[in-house]
Copies of this chain bind each other. A is one copy, B any other.
Amino acid sequence: MFLNREAISLKEAQRLLAELSVWPKTELKSARSAHGFVLAENVFAPFPIPAFRRSGYDGFGILACDNKNFPREFQVMETLGAGATLDKTLQPGECVRIMTGAKVPDDVAAVVMLEETENLSASRVRILNGSAKSNISEIGEEIKAKENVLSVGTRLNAGAISVLCAFGINEVTVYKKPRVAVVATGSELSRAATPETGTVYNSNGPLLAGLISENGGIVTGEYELTDDLDATRALFRRLTKENDLVVTTGGVSVGDFDFVARVAKEQTFLFNKLAMRPGSPTTAFVMNETPVVALSGNPSACFTGFWFFVEPLIQRFQGRETAAEEGKAILAHAYTKKNEFDRYLHGVLDACGTVTLDGHGQSSELASLYQANCFYQIPYGTSVSAGGSVKIWRLP
C-alpha cells in the first residue's frame, strides 16, 4: 500500500492545512463564564478609568490657593472614604480628610499625604509640608473612554476578565470552541492489555484528548477502532459530519492494516508523508468538509503532530493563530546524531533560555512528554554541540 508516497516539508504541510476554509462560529457568554474562550469582538472602554478624580493616597485635600506657607493649620470639614462624596465647597483654610481611591472634590488641587500631617483634633490638622505632586489620578489617566482595551482574538484569562469586570461588562461575544473527535486505531488496543496477547492500553487517545481540551477544543468523544476498513470508513463518515475536526492516531503507515491511510486516499487528500522525524507518515484529508488530521501511533509523533497540525486548526476556529511561539534557545547537551531528515524533539526550556533534551536517550519519550514546554529542531545532516543555538517552538 502506497509505498511510493511523496514526502512534503513541514512548512508545505502546514500551508495545505492553513489553506483549508474554516468557519468560526460565535456565541454570547457571560463575562464570568467566558474564561478560556477567545474574544470575537473588540472591547472598548465604555468610560474612562479613573472615571472621577481619584485620590492616590490617604491624606488631606486642599485648595490650590492653600498649597503654600507650610506648616500651618487647617479646618477639617469632612472625612471622605472611597465611595463617598462631598456636597459642599471648600473655603480657603479648609480641607477634607480623604482616603486612597476616594473621589476628590473638583476644587481640591492636591492631596497631602497623611505622613506629612499632624492630627490636632477631629476637626483640626496641621499640615507640615505641601506636596509638589497633586497625588490625584485625573479622569482617564489610566484608560481613556472608547480606548480598545481588549482585542478580538484575545483568549480570556483572569487578567482579561478583570478588565471586563472593571467596566461592568457582563456579556461578551466569543468564538465557539471547535468540536473535535479523537480516534485511536489499532486492534492491539485493549482494556486488558497483556504481554501474552500483544495488546496495549490506549495512551495516545487520552494524550490527544487532553491536549485538545488544554488548548481550546471541546472533545466530543474518544473512540477506539479495531483494524477494519468498513468500520473505519463508517466511523469517519459519522464523525466528520458531527464535528469541526477529527484527530486520529495510528493506522497511517504502509502496513496491511493501516486503514486510515486507505480512507484518506478515498477523500480529498492533502498529504501522507512528511520529510521530518518523528511523524513521517502523518496524513491529512478532508471528508464531509471536515479536516481529518491522522497522526502516527508513536507518542512523540502524536505530541509533535498535535502542535504542528492540530493546535493551529483549533486556534483558527477561534480566529487565532497557533499559541506555540517560534524562537531560539541554547541547547544544554550536545546532539551528535546526524539525521536524514529534520528532527523535532520535545524539551524543557528554562527561564534563562536553555533547553534540555527530554525523552531522548535514556528516558522514555512516552514518560517525558508531560514535562515538555517546547520543541526544538535539529536540521537534517547537522549535529549541535552543547551550548549551540537551536530553533525552538515555545509551548503556551
A residues in contact (CB < 8 Å) with B: 3, 32, 35, 47, 49-52, 54, 58, 79, 81-85, 97, 99-103, 114-115, 139, 142-143, 147, 149-150, 154, 156-163, 165-168, 186-191, 193-211, 213-214, 227, 250, 253-258, 297, 299, 303, 325-329, 350-353, 364-372, 374, 392-394
Contact = CB atoms under 8 A, between A and B. Distances in A.
5 contacts: A83-B198, A85-B197, A139-B195, A143-B364, A158-B370
Given A114-B3, A188-B102, A193-B51, A162 B204 contact: yes
Given A158-B370, A159-B371, A327-B351, 6 more contacts: A52-B198, A54-B198, A83-B188, A103-B197, A159-B368, A326-B351
A154 B370 CA distance: 9
Majority SS of interface residues in chain A?
loop
Contacts of A205: 165
A206 B165 contact: yes
A195 B83 CA distance: 10
Given A99-B255, A101-B297, A190-B83, A353 B353 contact: yes
A-B pairs, top 9 by smallest CB distance, nearest first, are: A327-B351, A158-B210, A103-B198, A159-B370, A83-B188, A162-B207, A166-B203, A82-B188, A353-B353
Contact of A163 (B115, B208, B214, B367): B367
A258 to B, nearest CB: 8
A351 B325 contact: yes
Contacts of A195: 47, 51-52, 103, 139
A118 B91 CA distance: 104
Contact of A351 (B99, B139, B199, B394): B394
B392 A214 contact: no
A166 B366 contact: yes
Most buried by B among A83, A165, A364: A83
